Amino acid sequence: MNINEKYKQIRQETIAFCSHLHIEDYAIQVAKFASPPKWHLAHTTWFFETFILKTFLENYTEFDSNFNFLFNSYYNNAGNRILQDNRGNMSRPSTDKIFEYRAYVDEKIQELLQNVSDKKIIDLVTLGLNHEQQHQELLITDVKYMLGNNPIFPQFNKEYNLVKDKNIGIKSIKINAGIYEIGHKGNAFCYDNELGIHKVYIADFEINNNLVTNGDFIEFMEAGGYADFNLWLDEGWSWVNTHSINSPMYWYKIEGEWHYYTLAGLQKVAKDTVLTHINYYEANAFAEWKGMRLPTEFEWEIAAEKLDWGKRWEWTNSAYLPYPNFKKENGALGEYNGKFMSNKMVLRGASVATSKNHSRPTYRNFFNPTERWQFTGIRLAK
């Protein structure tokens, strides 16, 4: 598939997901971290316009001079922007106008790609498409947060129960101590935070091939896991008490039974399916309760080829830090990953919400340890 066809396909996948939304859904923002669908549609388009069309397409005319301010996310080098928690305040521009914006930019990108041979342009379009895929996953999780906090728990689509995965076999994998290479190899696309192949020494360890299930976590809850400060990191214990947490996100006890919200509607919690929507503190407390621990990101990468992964983003016990010889690009694109290397924990793998062909063993996702609206889960090690 050439870059032109790939562009059309990935951009259309975003629209296909949004086809299940109601017009009222597009502008809703129910939390600072969960952006409105309309904003995602515009921001991913802004990325192509700002970093590609304005530079490489001769005589390009900007669609709307206000859009740089409205749809820039965190790129200080690209100019001023609205505050993140104000993204839901934009009833204007209309959703129709945003779809016009996407169509306009798509047409201009197609024009640019007709006879493109410049590797820099192809690389930037590839980055833009991977950026779009990241936002496809954010669209799913943000829409779930929006509908999952609606008091009537509306169904997004009956086919979108994304929390029904089960483990395939249960076994522990032993990895021998040694010196291993970490980091992305080859010429295929990766993000800059995966670059810098380096060696690490790893002691003997075991890692579970199965992920923690809802039933496993219910046992933790029923054993008083959320009430036992001995299991929790200090900041995690403060988070539990400040927010009165006693279950994973989207779980509700109704007439004595646990239910959870799925995009297919409110359903009874299936004990044999894989746990999701927990944060680093919950994952760490569960591991402590089991007398085990979370793997480091290096242990995870070393074991990845032997693991059944891709159902949940898996919390590791590694802080998000730069690899040796990590270098940021100059300008706005240098802000993509590097400036977030503080107060974040690394997650490895992928989830059921991750776009196709957007995962690899070296992928380093990262979130604040309190965040749990993504499809996150737990794999134990010792």
The domain spans of the chain are 3-148, 172-377
- Please answer whether residues 322 and 338 qualify as being in contact, where contact means their C-beta atoms are separated by less than 8 angstroms: yes
- Per-residue pLDDT at 337: 85
Could you give the C-alpha distances from 274 to 259, 282, 327, 359, 374, in angstroms and in order?
14, 15, 37, 19, 14
Q: What is the largest CA-CA distance in the chain?
A: 66
End-to-end alpha carbon distance in the chain:
43
- Per-residue pLDDT at 169: 75
With a cut of 70, which residues of the chain have pLDDT below it?
none
- Please answer whether residues 25 and 81 qualify as being in contact, where contact means their C-beta atoms are separated by less than 8 angstroms: no
Q: Provide the whole-model pTM.
A: 0.96
178-182 and 172-175 beta bridge pairing: unpaired
**Which residue, 104, 97, 103, 87, is CA-closest to 40?**
87
- Per-residue pLDDT at 334: 80
- Per-residue pLDDT at 335: 76
User: What is the distance between the alpha carbons of residues 112 and 110, in angstroms, rounded to a whole number?
Assistant: 5
- Per-residue pLDDT at 52: 97
Q: Give 24-49 pLDDT, tens digit per residue.
A: 999 999 999 999 999 999 999 999 99
- Per-residue pLDDT at 115: 83
Asked if CATH classification 3.90.1580.10 holds for the domain at 172-377, the reply, yes or no, is: yes
**Which residue, 212, 211, 208, 279, is CA-closest to 240?**
279
205-208 and 345-349 beta bridge pairing: unpaired
The answer for residues whose C-beta is within 8 angstroms of residue 66's C-beta and 6 or more apart is 93
- Per-residue pLDDT at 110: 95
In degrees and rounded to multiples of 5, residue 53 shows phi and psi of -65, -45
User: What is the distance between the alpha carbons of residues 329 and 337, in angstroms, rounded to a whole number?
Assistant: 10
- Per-residue pLDDT at 170: 75
Neighbours of 237 (CB within 10 A): 17
- Please answer whether residues 17 and 133 qualify as being in contact, where contact means their C-beta atoms are separated by less than 8 angstroms: no
- Per-residue pLDDT at 107: 97
- Per-residue pLDDT at 336: 82
In degrees and rounded to multiples of 5, residue 349 shows phi and psi of 100, -125
